[in-house]
Amino acid sequence: GRTLAAERLEAAEADIVFEDGEFRIAGTDRAVALVDLARSDPASVSANLVIDTPPSAFPNGAHLAEVEIDPETGKVRLVRYVAVDDFGVMVNPMLVDGQVHGGLVQAIGQILGEDATYAADGQLVAGSFMDYAVPRADDLPDFELIYHPVPAKTNSLGAKGCGEAGITAGLPTVMNAVLNALAPLGIHHLDMPLSPEKVWRAIGDARRG
């Protein structure tokens, strides 16, 4: 930038100083703004940006789901769910369990039933819990939670976040389990939620070829 400014101002490069966004000839009021210099000859200007962010700690994990599907009704039943997570040092393990449980139930509900449907006139059809299918306790298996904590090196507690682990992992885990079960029929994609009717129709369409 200083070289271009010296050429523009017809001065020696050694006499050019940069202050307040301008290249200026030292001791004078003759100056050219950096932005104007860049606009006049963009091909000759290069820029570098370095962002120094504080170190962060991220959790790790692997989840596994086992499902059974009734081909006559399309009903999906979650048989088993295993979650292996690394949240670093867990300050309160009981709260961590609850956080993971809640996220998993939210994910399972979103995949297998919850659907805010609207009529053509914009009226909410699923306006009560009679129509909006949140999961009940008897819809869920016992969650097997396994922890392999590796202390984080970026904070004094060695802790990592666990707030969204259940829903973040639960959504693809359950969906992939369902699609894996349907893969022999050639079904490789379904949109959420997986209502029994949607699964039943997909099975029927696949069988009819």
Supply angle C-alpha 181, 182, 186, rounded to 5: 140
Q: Which two tokens stand for residue 1?
A: 């930038």
Domain with CATH 3.30.365.10 in the chain: 60-208
* Mean pLDDT to the nearest integer, 21-38: 89
Which pairing describes strands 31-33 and 60-69: parallel, antiparallel, or unpaired?
Answer: unpaired
Q: What does the alpha-carbon distance between residue 122 and residue 116 come to, in Å, rounded to a whole number?
A: 11
Q: Examine the pLDDT at 45 and tell me if it is beyond 80.
A: no
Q: Examine the pLDDT at 5 and tell me if it is beyond 90.
A: no
Q: Among 204, 183, 199, which residue's Cα sits nearest to residue 74?
A: 199
pLDDT averaged over the chain?
92
Question: Do residues 87 and 149 touch, judged by C-beta distance below 8 A?
Answer: yes
Write phi, then psi, for 193 (nearest 5 degrees). -85, 155
Query: What is the per-residue pLDDT for 97?
Result: 97
60-208 adopts what CATH topology? Aldehyde Oxidoreductase; domain 4 (3.30.365)
Per residue in 14-24, pLDDT tens?
999 998 889 99
- 126 in the Ramachandran plot: left (φ > 0), alpha (ψ -120 to 50) or beta? beta
Query: What is the per-residue pLDDT for 54?
Result: 80
Read off the pTM: 0.71
Residue in the block written with tokens 């070289």: 3
Query: What is the per-residue pLDDT for 35?
Result: 86
Q: Examine the pLDDT at 42 and tell me if it is beyond 80.
A: no
Could you tell me the pLDDT band of residue 98, with boundaries at 50, 70 and 90?
very high
Per residue in 152-207, pLDDT tens?
999 999 999 999 999 999 999 999 999 999 999 999 999 999 999 999 999 999 99
Q: Among 63, 65, 116, 58, which residue's Cα sits nearest to residue 87?
A: 58
Query: What is the per-residue pLDDT for 56?
Result: 84
Query: What is the per-residue pLDDT for 87?
Result: 97
